[in-house]
């Protein structure tokens, strides 16, 4: 067992994602308290230039884990390559970003190594030498401290946005190429090109004001209440996933992990409970106003202003009041 924190970084089509840097930041925070050095492994094909970028992150070393079969992601190839690599290195801790890709292969990898994976951690605690990870449960209504009861490697995925990425360059750490032996005969899954649906007509990421609706809006016809509020503020209308699943608003107006990530000056959440998948999309908002009938709703955890009340009463009153304020100014 090596006292090392290994970060499994992620790239897609020659680009590192921000979540990888956030996970390195999480590893560095743990390293600061434990003294365990941080190493990074980047699976892919011909990823040495990207590995060199990661090597500027104040880490001990970076491995480019390469094989032609890792060029386009499949869970089988990733599990095979990484289980060998981790099995050999025996790091004490392995951290991953909680991306869709890691959700796809991470659990299988942990089981292949006869270990467990604590998923979607928002933080960690060191409790008398024991490493705990904190994670949200019951859609964010509670937080849990979760412990490993078995042997290292202790594996966890880090929630998007939970740690602040430091992308400023530090001294260059050594980069090493590690070739992975992946058997091609086991290809059960054939991946095709990644694509986007029809070009998006709205770019919510640039909107200064967003009024977003959730399940609390109850019926499609009630959307006009939210639209009126958005109009007086010169903002865009958006929604949490269930609203788009119902077809009440197009998918391009969906905010959250599967939709858009936004950073408006003002974000007004109407009848949105604040499930994790939604909250990760709005963490960048400067001011958040939440209106919800349930005072325990997790959305209030991230709100600057929380209104406990019936949105069908509060929203028209708020629209009228803003109209008045704008007319007076």
Partner 1 sequence: MKILVCIKQVPQKDAPLKLNAAGTWIHEDVSYEVNEPDAYALEEALRQKEKHGGEVVVLTAGPARAQQVLREALAKGADRAIHLEDEKFVQLDSANTARAIHAAIAQESFDLIVTGLQSDDFGAAQTGVLLAEILGIPHATIIIGIEKTDTGLRLKRELEAGHYQHIETTMPALLTIQSGINKLRYATLIGIKQAKMKPVRKVTWADVESKISPNLQQIVRLYVPEKQKRTEMMEGPAPEVARKVVDYLRTAARVI
Which residues does residue 65 pair with via DSSP β-bridges, in sequence order? 43, 178
Q: Which two tokens stand for residue 128?
A: 């008398």
Nearest to 115, CA basis, from 92, 133, 97, 81: 92
249 is a contact residue toward partner 1 (CB under 8 A): no
Q: In terms of CB distance, is 147 or 169 closer to partner 1?
A: 147
Residue from 29, 61, 89, 104 touching partner 1 (CB under 8 A): that is 104
Is the Cβ–Cβ distance between 285 and 262 less than 8 Å? Answer: yes
Q: In terms of CB distance, is 52 or 72 closer to partner 1?
A: 72
**Is the torsion defined by CA of 11, 97, 243, 316 positive or negative?**
negative
Q: In terms of CB distance, is 63 or 154 closer to partner 1?
A: 154
**Which residue matches tokens 């089981």?**
111
Over the range 32-57, which residues count as b (16 or more CB within 10 Å of their CB) and which as e? eeeebbbbbbbbbeebeebbebbbeb
Residue from 244, 269, 270, 282 touching partner 1 (CB under 8 A): that is 244
DSSP secondary structure letter of residue 254: B
Residues in contact with partner 1, shown as a per-residue x/- string from 25 to 54 under the rule CB under 8 A: ------------------------------
218 is a contact residue toward partner 1 (CB under 8 A): no
Q: In terms of CB distance, is 111 or 169 closer to partner 1?
A: 111
Residues in contact with partner 1, shown as a per-residue x/- string from 162 to 201 under the rule CB under 8 A: --------------------------xxxxxxxxxx--x-
Q: In terms of CB distance, is 28 or 253 closer to partner 1?
A: 253
> Residue ranges for the binding site?
215, 240-241, 254-258, 271-278, 292
Strands 130-137 and 117-127: antiparallel
Q: Which two tokens stand for residue 219?
A: 């019926």
Q: Among residue numbers 301 through 320, which ones bind partner 1 (CB under 8 A)?
A: 301-310, 313-314, 316-318, 320
State how far the alpha carbon of 86 is from the alpha carbons of 54, 114, 214, 303, in Å.
19, 12, 42, 40
Smallest gap from residue 325 Cβ to partner 1 (A): 5
Is the Cβ–Cβ distance between 89 and 201 less than 8 Å? Answer: no
Smallest gap from residue 116 Cβ to partner 1 (A): 4
Which helix (H) or strand (E) element contains residue 245?
helix 241-245
Strands 287-292 and 305-308: parallel
Which residues, other chains included, contact 239 with Cβ-Cβ below 8 Å and sequence gap of 6+?
A: 212, 213, 214, 248, 249, 253, 254, 255
From the list 48-56, 172-180, 219-227, 294-302, the region that binds partner 1 by CB under 8 A is 294-302
Q: Among residue numbers 112 through 151, which ones bind partner 1 (CB under 8 A)?
A: 112, 115-120, 127, 132, 135-150
Smallest gap from residue 235 Cβ to partner 1 (A): 10
Length of the chain in residues, anyone? 329
Smallest gap from residue 284 Cβ to partner 1 (A): 13
Number of other CB atoms surrounding residue 277 within 10 Å:
18
Q: In terms of CB distance, is 53 or 101 closer to partner 1?
A: 101
Smallest gap from residue 18 Cβ to partner 1 (A): 11
From the list 20-28, 49-57, 84-92, 107-115, the region that binds partner 1 by CB under 8 A is 107-115
Residue from 94, 209, 230, 238 touching partner 1 (CB under 8 A): that is 209
Q: Which two tokens stand for residue 296?
A: 């325990």
> Residue ranges for the binding site for FAD?
215, 240-241, 254-258, 271-278, 292
233 is a contact residue toward partner 1 (CB under 8 A): yes
């Amino acid at each position: 067992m090596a006292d090392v924190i290994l970060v499994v970084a992620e790239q897609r089509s020659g680009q590192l994602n921000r979540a990888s840097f956030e996970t390195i930041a999480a590893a560095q925070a743990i390293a600061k308290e434990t003294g365990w050095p941080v190493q990074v492994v980047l699976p892919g094909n011909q990823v040495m230039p990207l590995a060199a970028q990661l090597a500027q992150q104040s880490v001990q070393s970076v491995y480019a884990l390469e094989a032609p079969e890792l060029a386009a992601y499949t869970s089988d190839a990733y599990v095979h390559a990484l289980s060998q690599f981790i099995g050999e290195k025996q790091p004490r801790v392995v951290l991953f970003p909680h991306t869709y890709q890691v959700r796809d292969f991470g659990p299988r990898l942990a089981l292949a190594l006869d270990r467990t994976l604590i998923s979607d951690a928002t933080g960690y605690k060191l409790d008398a030498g024991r490493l705990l990870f904190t994670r949200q449960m019951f859609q964010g209504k509670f937080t849990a401290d979760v412990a490993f009861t078995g042997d290292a490697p202790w594996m966890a995925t880090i929630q998007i946005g939970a740690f602040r990425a430091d992308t400023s360059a530090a001294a260059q750490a050594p980069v090493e190429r590690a070739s992975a032996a992946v058997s091609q005969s086991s290809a059960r899954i054939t991946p095709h090109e990644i694509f986007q649906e029809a070009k998006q007509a709205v770019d919510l990421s640039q909107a200064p004001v967003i009024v977003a609706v959730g399940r609390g809006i109850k019926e499609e016809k009630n959307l006009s209440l939210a639209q009126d509020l958005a109009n007086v503020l010169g903002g865009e209308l958006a929604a949490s996933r269930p609203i788009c699943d119902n077809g009440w608003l197009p998918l391009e107006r969906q905010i959250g992990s599967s939709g858009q990530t936004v950073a408006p000056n003002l974000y007004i959440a109407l009848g949105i409970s604040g499930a994790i998948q939604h909250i990760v999309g709005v963490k960048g908002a400067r001011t958040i106003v939440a209106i919800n009938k349930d005072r325990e709703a997790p959305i209030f955890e991230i709100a600057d202003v929380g209104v406990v009340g019936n949105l069908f009463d509060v929203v028209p009153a708020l629209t009228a009041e803003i109209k008045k304020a704008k007319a007076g100014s």
